[in-house]
Amino acid sequence: MSRAAGKPGLRVVKGGELPLSGESLLALLEAVLAKGVPFRFRAKGFSMSPLIKDGDILIVEPRGGKRLHPGDTIAFINPMNGKPVVHRIIRLDRGFVVVKGDNVAETDGLIPEGDVLGIVASVERRGKKVRFGLGAEGRLIAFFSSCGLFEKLLSAAKRVFRPATRRRAR
């Protein structure tokens, strides 16, 4: 190559070390799912805590022709900012889904089913699978979440279990 252009080079990057904005993550997520294969990436944020925690590794499968159900944890495009979000469906509503983070009070509003990118199939935390919340119990969580009770149950559970955990640690 010319001196100005420089030699062509390939750089190898450890995926987790690549700083990606929400828009960039969305572009890769869409591109991989469009190939019909699942996408594995690291979750950011606390809105689905404690079932999905900041830093957990998620596998999102392409939706394909699958029907959506309340309780499914999905990746979708946030209509407010165009960024990808992973939250739980609490209700279906004529071509739309009502989505909400387990750990937040407000819903994300009505999301067109067409904006659903994929369904979370797996959560890994420190190398181990976290299954709770992705099966049939997801419907129960969605039910409590839609009544505004899931956060209260979580808070109560934290009050009960935290002191016990601390006692055990002493």
Partner 1 sequence: MNSEIKMDALYVPSPDVVAREIEGELIIVPITSGIGDLEDELFTLNETGRDIWDKLDGKRSPRAIAAELAAEYSAVPGEIEEDVRGLLEELLKRRIVVESGR
Asked whether position 59 contacts partner 1 by CB under 8 A, the answer is: yes
Q: Are 89 and 99 in contact (CB under 8 A)?
A: yes
Nearer to partner 1, 22 or 50 (CB): 22
Q: Does 127 bind partner 1 (CB under 8 A)?
A: no
Nearer to partner 1, 124 or 151 (CB): 124
Residue 32 vs 98, nearer CB to partner 1? 32
Query: Counting Cβ atoms within 10 Å, is residue 60 exposed (0-12), middle (13-18) or buried (19+)?
Result: buried
Minimum separation from the CB atom of position 21 to partner 1 (A)? 7
14 binds partner 1 (CB under 8 A): yes
Give the Cα separation of 147 and 145 in Å (integer). Answer: 5
Under rule CB under 8 A, residue 110 binds partner 1: no
Q: How many CB atoms lie within 10 A of CB 129?
A: 11
User: Alpha-carbon distance 170 to 127, whole Å?
Assistant: 26
Backbone angle region of 73, left / alpha / beta, with phi > 0 → left and psi within -120 to 50 → alpha: beta
Q: Is 35 in the site for partner 1 (CB under 8 A)?
A: yes
C-alpha 108 chain-centroid distance: 13
Q: Does 39 help bind partner 1 (rule: CB under 8 A)? A: yes
- Closest to partner 1 by CB, 30 vs 151, is 30
List the structure tokens of 41: 């990436």
Q: Which of 22, 32, 86, 107 binds partner 1 (CB under 8 A)?
A: 32
Identify the residue among 8, 64, 65, 95 touching partner 1 (CB under 8 A): 8
Could you say whether residue 41 binds partner 1 (CB under 8 A)? yes
Contact indicator for 78, 29 with CB cutoff of 8 Å: no
- Binding of partner 1 by 104 (CB under 8 A): no
| Chain center to CA of 1 | 44
The binding site for partner 1 (CB under 8 A) comprises 1-2, 4-16, 18, 20-21, 24-25, 27-28, 31-32, 35, 37-42, 57, 59
